[in-house]
Amino acid sequence: MDRKIIGQLVLAALVAAGAGCFRNTVSTIELKIPAMKTDACGQLVQSAVGRLGEGAILDVRLDPAAQTAWVKYDNVRLGRRNIEVAVRNAGFAVNDLPANEEARKKLAPECGGDEK
């Protein structure tokens, strides 16, 4: 085989291998949000996450009783930390991030406690 054919075969193999890298672009993150105890607090979390961009957030499930949210998102367009920071900036402690204190002060009393 001449070098040109070998080069084309190698290039085709690389393209085929690279095509598999982006097959699964959907991830789900679990958010532990201690202060999300009511549906109203959950709606604030959902609103904050929803502002991250149309098409990037695919689904948000909330369980205020468990103080947990699950966000399904396009991991090519958005990172896990982006979601956590959006919740933090809404005034809620989330996973390992403390609440943004200025935003927390603006929350209703039932959404502002148990940040640790």
What is the structure's pLDDT at 31? 97
Averaged pLDDT score across all residues of the chain: 86
What is the structure's pLDDT at 116? 46
pLDDT per residue over 71-92, tens digit each? 999 999 999 999 999 999 999 9
What is the structure's pLDDT at 68? 97
CATH of domain 24-111: 3.30.70.100
What is the structure's pLDDT at 10? 65
Q: Tell me how far apart the alpha carbons of residues 43 and 49 are, in angstroms, rounded to a whole number.
A: 10
What is the structure's pLDDT at 67? 95
What is the structure's pLDDT at 55? 85
Q: What is the pTM of this model?
A: 0.77
pLDDT per residue over 8-65, tens digit each? 666 666 655 555 555 679 999 999 999 999 999 999 999 999 999 888 999 999 999 9
